[in-house]
Amino acid sequence: MTETESKDIDPYLRRRLAAHVRRLRLERRVSQELLSVECGFHRTYVSHIERAAVNITLDNVQRLATGLGVDPAELVSDSESGE
């Protein structure tokens, strides 16, 4: 993939993941800081994820899913509920 192709990628999945992480975190009444501790992230990383400001690795998707108590697929699901 060239640099130009990289810039043209639609961040759809990042935005989808961001929305699901935020929704699940708020439903569980967990702060960004507590979730970051649970996942082993720096305290600002969850904020970056929820703003779709970072390109998260699959390993970190797994860590987030574990921290939120969901299947990793739920974090990128097309449905509102994540299923």
| pTM, full prediction | 0.83
- Per-residue pLDDT at 69: 97
Judge contact between 25 and 32, C-beta under 8 A: yes
Crossing angle for the helix pair 58-68 and 12-27, nearest 10 degrees?
A: 20
List the domain boundaries for the chain. Answer: 10-70
pLDDT tens for the 83 residues of the chain, in order: 455 455 666 789 999 999 999 999 999 999 999 999 999 999 899 999 999 999 999 999 999 999 999 999 999 988 765 55
| CATH number, domain 10-70 | 1.10.260.40
